[in-house]
């Protein structure tokens, strides 16, 4: 894209904005704060506190057209093989259509029947065993929708191969009353299978090996392996190769969430996702929330050169949302070659990080306000609360508004550089009516399509993740040495080898 006139026009335009301050932009244009917004179905995107103008938005829209974004959206939403390196669709949108294809409908019905049973009293606790996309989505959403959750059922998430995680998740659970859902698209992920085997032994110790299998369900695209593990065929839920792990919350990967909140709330979440899918397909760029978020991401990353951005939900229930978006964005956009294998030629995926406000204010906001690097921020807040402590909520939201205001406008002082705030630090505010299953689904789809928008412009494939493979291969080889089934690799570097040696001596 960098050779196109559209990209070059944005470079020139960015240079024109050198020295322009958000204070000046707002002072010159009293309607800016209302105009530079977009709204869809209870979601407001206020992007006025970014370092941009109406002209920027027009130039970014032209860039989107030049990249063929509209065609890419159609191709993704219609199930074409947009995941080109694996030659398959990335058709998460098909999971949330009101008229899903029969295989999706069948699996949703299967989930609803299983969830109804699981909510019926046999189980006290449900533990989702999975990692990455087989953990972060349902874990994030179960925390987000805690106020909708079944009060007598404890739904937990076990991901890390660290035995300390198994211990902490199970330490106060009754194995006789615990259901495990093993979620693994491949059913080969070593962390998940290790935890699943440990869980099976833990249950078998309590109820006997012959009854242990009934404590397990599985979600996978590899049902034979799940059956080999000992899961009943009826308790195995399908995934399809056309659903990527980090895009899979709307599939049976969300089974633990459905058990927590019930099938109706799950359906509302899917409806929220679908709403954003259709909005993304049809809305003009200047009114298109995910496209705008992605185009602003491009503007900040490629034209201002800022290497990270922070996702700061002012909602404790969204405490896992930054981690969720981190996988979604960084596993999708952490690429240095285009889909055709040629060098990307531009900066691509930024580092994504964050924590819920107001906690972050007492941790890292110092750097956001006065640090040497600019960190664009996405603030997420809700107008209505899911509890009855309005005083708390007013204070929470006052802080969100104040942070965005302080970052943008600052408070410069010539007499004391330590207490001086230069301002001009960009942020976007996503203000949502209320945190509900529907709006959570909207937020998830908003970020999915933000990531897609950026990838279309960079020309990268956001749906593969080859970069995680090398570490897995090396770990497998080292693990074999640690268990004595292989001898050390003589070609290994001296640092890694002496660390392994020291570990073996001291473990
Ligand atoms: O980390 C790589 C990865 O493949 C993720 O993309 C995926 O979400 C995760 O591992 C888990 O994979 P699986 O569902 O196959 O166990």
DSSP 67-89: TTHHHHHHHHHTT---BTTTTB-
Is residue 30 in a domain?
Answer: no
Assess contact for 197 and 187: CB atoms under 8 A: no
Is residue 306 in a domain?
Answer: yes
CA-based torsion, 222, 223, 225, 231: positive or negative? positive
304 & 257 share domain: no
108 & 169 share domain: yes
Query: Cβ-count burial of 99 within 10 angstroms (0-12 exposed, 13-18 middle, 19+ buried)?
Result: exposed
In angstroms, the Cα distances linking 68 to 148, 330, 499 are 40, 23, 49
Is residue 74 in a domain?
Answer: no
Total domain count, the chain: 3
C-alpha of residue 331 to centroid of ligand 1, in Å: 10
Identify the active-site residue in 171, 362, 418, 469.
362
116 & 254 share domain: yes
Range of the domain at 391: 5-16+40-66+283-458
99 & 172 share domain: yes
State residue 1's pLDDT score: 86
The CATH number that applies at residue 205 is 3.40.50.10490
Q: 415 in helix, strand or coil?
A: coil
Say whether 472 is catalytic.
yes
State residue 126's pLDDT score: 98
Q: 283 in helix, strand or coil?
A: coil
- Residues 171-204 as b or e (16 or more Cβ within 10 Å = b): eeeebeebbbbbbbbebebebbbebbebbbebbb
Is residue 394 in a domain?
Answer: yes
169 & 96 share domain: yes
pLDDT tens across the length of the chain (507 residues): 889 999 999 999 999 999 999 999 999 999 999 999 999 999 999 999 999 999 999 999 999 999 999 999 999 999 999 999 999 999 999 999 999 999 999 999 999 999 999 999 899 999 999 999 999 999 999 999 999 999 999 999 999 999 999 999 999 999 999 999 999 999 999 999 999 999 999 999 999 999 999 999 999 999 999 999 999 999 999 999 999 999 999 999 999 999 999 999 999 999 999 999 999 999 999 999 999 999 999 999 999 999 999 999 999 999 999 999 999 999 999 999 999 999 999 999 999 999 999 999 999 999 999 999 999 999 999 999 988 899 999 999 999 999 999 999 999 999 999 999 999 999 999 999 999 999 999 999 999 999 999 999 999 999 999 999 999 999 999 999 999 999 999 999 999 999 999 999 999
190 contacts: CB under 8 Å, gap ≥ 6: 161, 472, 475, 476, 479
Q: Which atom of ligand 1 is nearest to the CA of 220?
A: 14
Picking from 243, 267, 291, the residue at the C-terminal end of a domain is 267
State residue 246's pLDDT score: 98
Which residue's CA is the closest to the ligand 1 atom numbered 6?
245
CA atoms within 13 A on the CB side of 79: 11
Is residue 111 in a domain?
Answer: yes
Q: Is the distance from the beta carbon of residue 244 to the nearest atom of ligand 1 less than 6 Å?
A: no
Q: Residue 242 is encoded by which pair of tokens?
A: 């056309």
Is residue 407 in a domain?
Answer: yes
321 & 381 share domain: yes
288 & 259 share domain: no
230 & 367 share domain: no
153 & 213 share domain: yes
181 & 202 share domain: yes
Say whether 49 is catalytic.
no
State residue 320's pLDDT score: 98
In angstroms, the Cα distances linking 473 to 86, 467, 476, 477 are 19, 11, 5, 6
Within 10 angstroms of residue 126's Cβ, the number of other Cβ atoms is 24
Laid out side by side, the sheet with 178-183 consists of: 154-158, 125-129, 178-183, 216-220, 236-238
Is residue 339 in a domain?
Answer: yes
Distance CA 434, CA 318 (A): 12
Task: Write the Ramachandran bin of 486: left for phi over 0, alpha for psi from -120 to 50, otherwise beta.
Answer: beta
434 & 480 share domain: no
Distance CA 142, CA 260 (A): 7
Is residue 336 in a domain?
Answer: yes
Say whether 450 is catalytic.
no
Strands 154-158 and 125-129: parallel
Which residue's CA is the closest to the ligand 1 atom numbered 5?
132
- The one-character DSSP state at 421 is B
State residue 360's pLDDT score: 97
State residue 387's pLDDT score: 86
Q: Is the distance from the beta carbon of residue 468 to the nearest atom of ligand 1 less than 6 Å?
A: yes
Picking from 267, 292, 327, the residue at the C-terminal end of a domain is 267
Nearest residue to 63 via CA among 285, 364, 223, 374: 285
Assess contact for 215 and 179: CB atoms under 8 A: yes
Q: Residue 62 is encoded by which pair of tokens?
A: 């032209």
306 & 160 share domain: no
Q: Is the distance from the beta carbon of residue 225 to the nearest atom of ligand 1 less than 6 Å?
A: no
C-alpha of residue 133 to centroid of ligand 1, in Å: 6
Probe ligand 1: pick from 85, 86, 128, 131, max atoms within 8 Å of CB? Answer: 131
Q: Which atom of ligand 1 is nearest to the CA of 134?
A: 14
Query: Cβ-count burial of 430 within 10 angstroms (0-12 exposed, 13-18 middle, 19+ buried)?
Result: buried
C-alpha of residue 169 to centroid of ligand 1, in Å: 21
Q: Is the distance from the beta carbon of residue 132 to the nearest atom of ligand 1 less than 6 Å?
A: yes
C-alpha of residue 409 to centroid of ligand 1, in Å: 42
Picking from 267, 292, 311, the residue at the C-terminal end of a domain is 267
Assess contact for 441 and 273: CB atoms under 8 A: yes
């Amino acid at each position: 894209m960098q050779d196109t006139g559209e990209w070059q026009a944005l470079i020139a335009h960015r240079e024109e904005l050198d020295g322009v301050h958000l204070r000046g932009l707002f002072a010159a244009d009293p309607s800016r704060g209302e105009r530079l917004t977009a709204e869809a179905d209870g979601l407001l995107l206020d992007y006025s506190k970014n370092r941009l103008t109406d002209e920027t938005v027009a130039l970014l829209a032209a860039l989107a057209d030049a990249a063929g974004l509209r065609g890419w959206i159609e191709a993704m939403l219609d199930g074409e093989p947009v995941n080109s390196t694996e030659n398959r669709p990335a058709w998460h949108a098909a999971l949330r259509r009101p008229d899903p294809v029969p295989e999706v409908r069948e699996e949703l019905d299967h989930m609803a029947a299983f969830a109804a049973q699981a909510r019926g009293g046999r189980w006290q606790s449900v533990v989702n065993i999975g990692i990455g996309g087989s953990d972060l989505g349902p874990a994030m959403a179960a925390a987000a929708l805690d106020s909708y959750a079944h009060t007598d059922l404890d739904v937990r998430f076990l991901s890390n191969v660290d035995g300390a995680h198994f211990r902490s998740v199970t330490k106060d659970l009754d194995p006789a009353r615990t259901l495990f859902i093993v979620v693994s698209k491949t059913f080969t992920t070593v962390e998940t299978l290790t935890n699943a085997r440990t869980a099976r032994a833990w249950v078998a110790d309590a109820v006997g090996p012959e009854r242990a299998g009934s404590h397990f369900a599985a979600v996978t695209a590899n049902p034979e392996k799940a059956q080999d593990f000992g899961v009943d065929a009826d308790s195995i839920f399908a995934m399809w190769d056309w659903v990527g792990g980090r895009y899979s919350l709307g599939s049976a990967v969300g089974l633990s969430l459905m058990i927590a909140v019930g099938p109706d709330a799950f359906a509302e979440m899917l409806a929220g996702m679908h709403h954003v899918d259709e909005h993304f397909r049809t809305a003009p760029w200047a009114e298109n929330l995910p496209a705008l978020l992605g185009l602003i991401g491009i503007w900040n990353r490629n034209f201002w050169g800022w290497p990270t951005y922070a996702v700061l939900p002012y909602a404790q229930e969204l405490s896992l949302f930054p981690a969720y978006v981190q996988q979604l964005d960084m596993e999708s956009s952490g690429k240095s070659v285009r889909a055709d294998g040629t060098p990307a030629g531009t900066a691509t995926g930024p580092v994504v990080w964050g924590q819920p406000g107001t906690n972050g204010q007492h941790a890292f906001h110092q750097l956001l306000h006065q640090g040497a690097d600019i960190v664009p921020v996405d603030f997420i807040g809700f107008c209505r609360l899911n509890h009855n402590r309005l005083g708390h909520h007013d204070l929470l939201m006052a802080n969100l508004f104040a942070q965005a205001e302080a970052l943008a406008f600052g408070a410069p002082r010539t007499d004391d550089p330590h207490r001086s705030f230069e301002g001009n630090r960009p942020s976007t505010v996503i203000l949502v009516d209320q945190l509900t299953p529907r709006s959570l689904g909207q937020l998830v789809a908003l970020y999915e399509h933000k990531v897609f928008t950026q990838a279309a412009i960079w020309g990268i494939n956001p749906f593969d993740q080859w970069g995680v493979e090398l570490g897995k291969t090396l770990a497998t080889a080292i693990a074999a040495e640690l268990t004595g089934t292989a001898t050390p690799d003589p070609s290994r570097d001296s640092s890694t080898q002496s660390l392994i040696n020291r570990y073996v001596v001291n473990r």
